[in-house]
Amino acid sequence: MKTPGRSVAIARALASEADGLPEDFAVQVASLAEAGAEARTRSWGDAALLAAFLAMVGICMVGWRTYGSPESGIGRDFSDLLVMAASQPLLMIGIAGVGLIQVLSYRGRVMIRAKEVEISGS
Amino acid sequence: MNREPDERARVRAVLDRRHGAFEALVRDYQKLCWHIVFRMVGNPDDARDLCQETFLRVHRQLHQFRFECPLKAWIGRIAYTIALRHLERQRAAPSRCLDDQDENAIESIPDESFDSEAVLADEQQAARLRDAVAALPAVPRTLVTLFHLEELPIPEIATITGMNESTIKSHLFRARASLRGWLQRRGVNSR
């Protein structure tokens, strides 16, 4: 089939019609896209931090089980968490401290994000 | 002229999140996107949202672009797909469409006799020609815009729409004939 000829008249008629996009469309879309990319990166970062925290807790538990005092029975039996916590206070404080730092840094990131949304919305 | 090195540099700049790179890309292709989406959906508000959706998807998926076709066609393809899905979701016929009488008229009018240049004697007639294009069904309307206004080659239109080239040509011939019929019925001198 032969190719149809182009029509200057149709092109001109269509070209004279203004497009309906706002003048700052490119700026708006670019900032939305950047915010989306940032959020995706952050959520991966959050997931990585959580995974690292869980891994660290796991390593602590393995260490506890391996090197825990055999007389206390702690190395073999995890049923009584309170007894375990009482017998290894420094380890528990360490885990709680890391957990607290994680929570505080997550809270900080959430607050920064909220501030950014507020600024971009205003 | 080889477009690929330029496009590679441009895509790299966006992927590296260089300041202003994506904004420049949007600015360069927003008209094409508008032409595709607006011709497909026929509603300016929906078209604006869908154009935004198109570029957000372009930003998310740009790392998947393999330079197998021009960047313009790749972006056009995304815009066309988003507009098509929107139409499918809505299941709505285009707001203004050719009626049966118009469709029959398409067949009876020889395409070669249509002289659209003569139609553009004044702005009023240009406006009628725009109305005539707007009265086409969504897909031919989009094809007419891509071919006559954007001056895209048929293979690139095929990449955007996923249609084969002879189907596109057939649509274009029929659309042109229907434009002539539409204008003649409204008393516009098309010869």
CA dist., res. B79 & res. B34, Å (int): 8
pLDDT at B104 (0 to 100): 43
Instruction: Give the model's confidence band at B153: pLDDT under 50 very low, under 70 low, under 90 confident, else very high.
Output: very high
Tokens standing for A44? 């991966």
Q: What percent of chain A has pLDDT over 90?
A: 11
CA dist., res. A65 & res. B179, Å (int): 82
Q: Tell whether the model's pLDDT for residue B160 goes beyond 60.
A: yes
Q: Which of residues 48-67 of B touch A (CB under 8 A)?
A: 48, 51-52, 55-56, 59-60
Tokens standing for A89? 């206070």
Residues of B in contact with A19 (CB under 8 A): 30-31, 34-35, 38
Coarse DSSP helix, strand, coil percentages of chain B, rounded to the nearest 5 percent = 75, 0, 25
Nearest CB to B48 within list A11, A20, A30: A20
Instruction: Quote the mean pLDDT of chain B.
Output: 83
Q: Which of residues 146-175 of B touch A (CB under 8 A)?
A: 147-149, 151, 154, 166, 169-170, 172-173
Greater model confidence, A116 or B176? B176
Non-local CB neighbours of B120 within 8 Å, separated by 6+ positions: A9, A12, A13, B126, B129
In this complex, do A36 and B166 lie within 8 Å of one another by their Cβ atoms? Answer: no
Q: What is residue B120's DSSP assignment? A: T
Rg of chain B in Å (alpha carbons): 18
Q: Tell whether the model's pLDDT for residue B94 goes beyond 50.
A: no
pLDDT at B116 (0 to 100): 58
Q: What is the pLDDT of residues B54-85, one digit of tens each?
A: 999 999 999 999 999 999 999 999 999 999 99
Q: Tell whether the model's pLDDT for residue B167 goes beyond 90.
A: yes
Selection from A55, A78, A100 nearest residue A87 by Cα: A78
Question: Locate tokens 């154009």: which residue?
Answer: B51
**Residue B155, number of CB atoms within 10 A of its CB:** 13
Q: Tell whether the model's pLDDT for residue B98 goes beyond 60.
A: no
**B36 lies within 8 A of chain A by CB:** no
- CA-nearest residue to A3 within chain B is B169
**A32 lies within 8 A of chain B by CB:** yes
CA dist., res. B129 & res. B143, Å (int): 15
**A39 lies within 8 A of chain B by CB:** no
Instruction: Quote the mean pLDDT of chain A.
Output: 77
Tell whether ipTM is more than 0.85.
Answer: no
Q: What percent of chain B has pLDDT over 90?
A: 61
Tell me if the pTM is above 0.80: no
Residue type at B182 in one-letter notation: W
- CA-nearest residue to A18 within chain B is B31
What distance in Å separates residue B116's CA from the closest CA in chain A?
A: 6
- CA-nearest residue to B57 within chain A is A33
In this complex, do A11 and B35 lie within 8 Å of one another by their Cβ atoms? Answer: no
Greater model confidence, B187 or B86? B86
Selection from A31, A64, A10 nearest residue B177 by Cα: A10
Q: Which of residues 87-126 of B touch A (CB under 8 A)?
A: 111, 116-117, 119-120, 123, 126
Q: Which segment, A51-55, A109-113, B9-13, B114-118, is predicted with the most confidence on average? A: B9-13
What distance in Å separates residue B103's CA from the closest CA in chain A?
A: 20
